[in-house]
């Protein structure tokens, strides 16, 4: 591009006010050359920058984020900015879906109820909406999985903590894979929640299945992507799965579900049922107790240190999980792998 364009011409080409170009210049995003009479002239490089800035603005990136991106266009930095956008859009979809469900309940209660019932219905729906949104928003990674990512694969081969819970790591992952692949068609879509470094997903990839991994830890996903370039990965959480309804025939998860407390688990089950097809199956391999009685019996035998380790997380009560899945019309089978490690098969 030999011709140099002045500010009026550039504004006309990009259909933006000339003031916007001056504003981006003031913020350091553009640096057009000055010609005779101190007029601005825009080169080919400036055109590319303007096009990039405008594209990022349509994605709602702040001027500060764009400036950061233009200064440092390394892959990790660019990905980070898009992840920010992805999270914002996904959060907003979940909030809107919750509000829509709540409105539906209110409208149904107005149709169905007498006048007294209407107020009660509205209050109940508003309370439910608040409580769901609070649960969804409040989950935090208090274990800092990003910092564990690089050493994770090595540490599962050794003793972890006082309970040695990864002693049968491979057996657990193999069992989950075998249970999940029963009756699975090659064309079926599989979701691995809390994919970590991708070890479970890879068992499906090796057999030619299409699998998507989701995790809240970017560092874990980076390790997974380096190991398995064919693995499709998405940033997301159990409580805010970034997928449409009925997207997967099968959901699997290992060593991840115990990072949710009882209330969060119920919401996670609701989320899994939402993204699962009607006939879909779920296989969860994780730390669990058979029921409250067996938890008490185990606590009686264990040392203080071991109990503290258990209480740092939220091991499931299988009887409670079973009850919850039954509400969705599902059947639950359970297989014990180790004292505290079970595979729960939901179909």
Ligand X SMILES: C[S@@+](CC[C@H](N)C(=O)[O-])C[C@H]1O[C@@H](n2cnc3c(N)ncnc32)[C@H](O)[C@@H]1O
Site string for ligand X, 290-319 (x = CB under 6 A): ------------------------------
Q: Which of 11, 40, 204, 237 binds ligand X (CB under 6 A)?
A: 237
Torsion sign, CA atoms 189, 276, 192, 136? positive
Q: Is 139 in the site for ligand X (CB under 6 A)?
A: yes
Q: Is 24 in the site for ligand X (CB under 6 A)?
A: no
Q: Which of 32, 121, 194, 242 binds ligand X (CB under 6 A)?
A: 194
Q: Which of 209, 248, 255, 342 binds ligand X (CB under 6 A)?
A: 255
Q: Is 217 in the site for ligand X (CB under 6 A)?
A: yes
Q: Is 280 in the site for ligand X (CB under 6 A)?
A: no
Q: Which span sits near ligand X by CB under 6 A: 35-43, 57-65, 250-258, 316-324?
A: 250-258
Other C-beta atoms within 10 Å of 1: how many? 10
Q: Which residues of 29-56 are buried (b: 16+ CB within 10 A; e: fewer)?
A: bbebeeeeeeebbbbeebeebbeebeeb
Q: Which span sits near ligand X by CB under 6 A: 31-39, 54-62, 100-108, 211-219?
A: 211-219
Q: Which of 5, 24, 42, 145 binds ligand X (CB under 6 A)?
A: 145
> What residues pair up with 343 in beta bridges, in sequence order?
285, 335
Distance between CA 322 and CA 70 in Å, rounded?
A: 51
Angle at 157 between CA 155 and CA 222, to 5 degrees: 55
Q: How many residues bind ligand X (CB under 6 A)?
A: 18
Residues that bind ligand X (CB under 6 A): 139, 145, 194-196, 199-200, 215-217, 220, 237-238, 254-256, 259-260
């Amino acid at each position: 591009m030999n011709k140099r364009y002045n500010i009026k011409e550039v504004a006309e080409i990009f259909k933006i006010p000339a003031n916007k170009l001056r504003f981006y210049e003031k913020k350091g995003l553009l640096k057009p050359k000055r010609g005779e009479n101190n007029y601005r002239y825009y080169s080919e490089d400036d055109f590319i920058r303007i096009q990039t800035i405008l594209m990022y603005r349509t994605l709602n990136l702040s001027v500060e984020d764009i400036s950061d991106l233009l200064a440092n266009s390394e892959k990790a930095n660019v990905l980070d900015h898009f992840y920010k956008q992805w999270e914002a859009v996904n959060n907003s979809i979940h909030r809107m879906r919750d509000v829509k469900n709540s409105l539906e309940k209110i409208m149904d209660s107005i149709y169905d109820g007498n006048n007294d019932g209407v107020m009660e219905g509205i209050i109940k729906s508003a309370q439910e909406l608040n409580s769901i949104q609070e649960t969804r928003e409040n989950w935090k990674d208090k274990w800092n999985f990003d910092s564990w990512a690089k050493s994770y694969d090595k540490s599962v081969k050794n003793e972890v903590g006082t309970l040695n819970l990864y002693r049968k790591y491979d057996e657990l992952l193999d069992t989950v894979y075998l249970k999940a692949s029963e009756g699975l068609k090659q064309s079926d879509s599989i979701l691995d929640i809390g994919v970590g470094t991708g070890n479970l997903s890879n068992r499906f990839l090796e057999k030619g299945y299409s699998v998507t991994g989701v995790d809240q830890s970017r560092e874990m996903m980076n390790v997974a992507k380096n190991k398995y370039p064919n693995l499709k990965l998405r940033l997301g959480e159990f409580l805010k799965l970034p997928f449409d309804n009925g997207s997967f025939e099968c959901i699997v998860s290992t060593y991840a579900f115990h990072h949710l407390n009882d209330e969060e688990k119920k919401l996670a089950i609701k989320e899994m049922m939402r993204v699962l097809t009607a006939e879909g199956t779920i296989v969860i391999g994780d730390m669990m107790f058979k029921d409250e009685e067996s938890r008490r019996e185990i606590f009686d035998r264990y040392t203080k240190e071991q109990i503290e380790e258990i209480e740092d997380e939220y091991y499931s009560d299988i009887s409670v999980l079973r009850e919850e899945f039954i509400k969705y019309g599902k059947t639950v089978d359970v297989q014990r792998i180790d004292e505290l490690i079970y595979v729960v098969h939901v179909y």
